[in-house]
Chain A
Amino acid sequence: MKTTLEIINRMQAEGIICKYAIGGAVGATFYLEPSATFDIDIFVSLKNPQGSPLLTLTPIYDYLTSRGCQTDKEYLMIEGWPVQFLPPGDALDEEALQQAVETEVEHVRTWVISAEHLVAIALRTGRAKDFARILQFVEAGVLDPNQLDAILKRHGLLEKWEQFGVKFLRGNP
C-alpha cells in the first residue's frame, strides 16, 4: 500500500493529477477497524485537456501503463493493488475531495475523505455494503453530527438519511 501511494504521489508531483483522496473501504479504515477489501478507490481531480470541456482518465492510464502497470477492467494494478480512479461526479464528490484529511502511511503523505463525507457518499450510493459501512460509522461514534447534517442538507440527502434511520436505526437517525 505504501508503494502504491508513493506512485500516486509521484503522479501528483508530475502534474498528471491534481488533488486526490482515498475513499471507499480503505478510506473508512482510517476511522474504523480494518475490514477486507480488494481494491482502493481514489477520488481524483484532473486537469482539463487544453481546449476540451471533457475530463479524461487517459493521462493517468498512459502514465501508469507506460511504467508497467496492467489494467484489469476498471482498475489499474499498482504494486499489486487494483486502484480505481474516480473523478468527481457531482458537487458532493468535489467537496469531499477539497475537504479531505491529510495523513501519513509509513511516512508517506496522503489524503483521506472525511468520515462525514464517506457516510454521505455511501448513503448516495445506497448498496447493502454501503449501508453496512454507515452503521459501522454510527456504532463507532466517530461522526460529527453537525458536520454530517450540514453535508446532508447541502447535497439533498436528508430524506435518504431519514429513510436510512427508520430502516436501520429504529427511526432515530
Chain B
Amino acid sequence: MSEWMRKILESKRAARQQLRALTFSEKLKLLEKLRERSLAIAESPLRRRQRNR
C-alpha cells in the first residue's frame, strides 16, 4: 500500500473514531441531517429522471 493511501485510510479511521465519540444526541442530529440530504437527493428531478428511464 502506498504512503498516500495509508494516510487516507488513517485519516478516515480517525474521522470515524471522532464521530463515534460524539454523544447520542449529537449523533442523532447528524443522522437527521443525513436523512434530510438523502431525501432531497431522492426527490431531485435528475434522480427522478433516472428512475423513469
Contacts and interface: CB of A to CB of B under 8 A. Distances in A.
B19 A33 contact: yes
Nearest to A39: B35
Given A33-B16, A33-B19, A34-B19, A105 B28 contact: yes
A146 interface: no
B19 A104 contact: no
A35 B38 CA distance: 11
A70 to B, nearest CB: 16
Nearest to A32: B20
B52 interface: no
Output the residue of B16, B27, B32 with the most chain A CB within 10 A. Answer: B27
Contacts of A38: 35, 38-39
Contacts, number: 47
Of the listed residues A33, A104, A106, the one surrounded by the most CB atoms of chain B closer than 10 A to its CB is A33
A29 B31 contact: yes
Interface residues of B, number: 15
B34 A140 contact: no
A37 interface: yes
A105 B16 CA distance: 21
Contact of B25 (A36, A37, A105, A142): A105
Given A34-B34, A35-B34, A26 B20 contact: no
B27 A36 contact: no
Contacts of B9: none
A1 interface: yes
B27 to A, nearest CB: 5
Interface of A: 1-2, 26, 29-38, 103-106, 112, 140, 142
